[in-house]
Amino acid sequence: MRKVILYIASSLDGYIAGPENQLDFLFHDQDFGYENFLPTIDTTLMGYKTYQEVLGFDVPFPYPDKTNYVFSRQSRPASQHPVTFVQEDPATFIRQLKQGSGGKIWAVGGGQLNGLLLEAGLIDEVELYLHPIALGSGIPLFKGAYAPQAFRLISSAIHPSGVIIAKYQKKTV
Ligand SMILES: NC(=O)c1ccc[n+]([C@@H]2O[C@H](COP(=O)([O-])OP(=O)(O)OC[C@H]3O[C@@H](n4cnc5c(N)ncnc54)[C@H](OP(=O)(O)O)[C@@H]3O)[C@@H](O)[C@H]2O)c1
């Protein structure tokens, strides 16, 4: 079955962006392994808000060679970018996606989509880039209500910048 990997950066207090979607707390001057990670996946999943933020980066669409699904409850006009808008329940859609053919799937975010995926038990691995700053408020890594879910730490590394890279696998009983 295809795996869903949540590859994401967060603050020390569990925020993936500031209250106004600020990402300036992230260290942008270093790669942290992104260039190695990107070729390992062939599909991305984004909530509509994350998709909008990505478009606002003022760079070419970053995943032109991937299959990209963007979740929105509304009907969205076709994009000039290679994305498919999905109105279907994300958990149902992604459960089916995982059973089909293809490689690893990157859950890009944001917090709403992550919360839905966690609640549905659809996140197989988490690769977390924990930045040494407490933001106090913002967009949580996982939004909404979800039952506790245990993960096993499979590796960790300390980057000289102070970022901790922690890789987790979903714990199966
Ligand atoms: N630090 C990082 O590495 C990182 C990574 C990714 C994202 N982010 C940040 O996270 C922020 C966005 O996160 P967010 O939590 O606000 O939003 P999000 O999860 O990216 O997107 C939320 C949107 O997804 C759609 N959605 C939610 N539930 C749905 C459902 N049940 N069915 C269908 N569609 C559904 C809705 O779109 P509609 O409103 O169109 O219906 C909703 O507004 C941005 O600031 C982004 O930059 C940070």
The Cα–Cα gap between 13 and 28 comes to 19
Q: Identify the architecture of domain 4-170 in CATH.
A: 3-Layer(aba) Sandwich (3.40)
Indicate the domain borders of the chain: 4-170
Give the position, in ligand 1's atom list, of the atom nearest the Cα of 143.
Answer: 15
* pLDDT tens column, 58-87: 899 999 999 999 999 999 999 999 999 999
Å from CA of 173 to ligand 1 middle: 30
Å from CA of 109 to ligand 1 middle: 6
Percent of the chain with pLDDT over 90: 92
Å from CA of 139 to ligand 1 middle: 9
Q: What are the tokens at 23? A: 């990402």
Q: What are the tokens at 3? A: 């795996």
Mutate to test the pocket of ligand 1, among 76, 112, 117, 122 (most ligand atoms within 8 A of CB): 112
Give the position, in ligand 1's atom list, of the atom nearest the Cα of 51.
Answer: 20
* pLDDT tens column, 83-141: 999 999 999 999 999 999 999 999 999 999 999 999 999 999 999 999 999 999 999 99
Strands 15-17 and 139-140: antiparallel
108 lines ligand 1 (CB under 6 A): yes
Burial letters for 46-62: b for 16+ Cβ neighbours within 10 Å, e otherwise? bbbbbbebbeeeeeebe
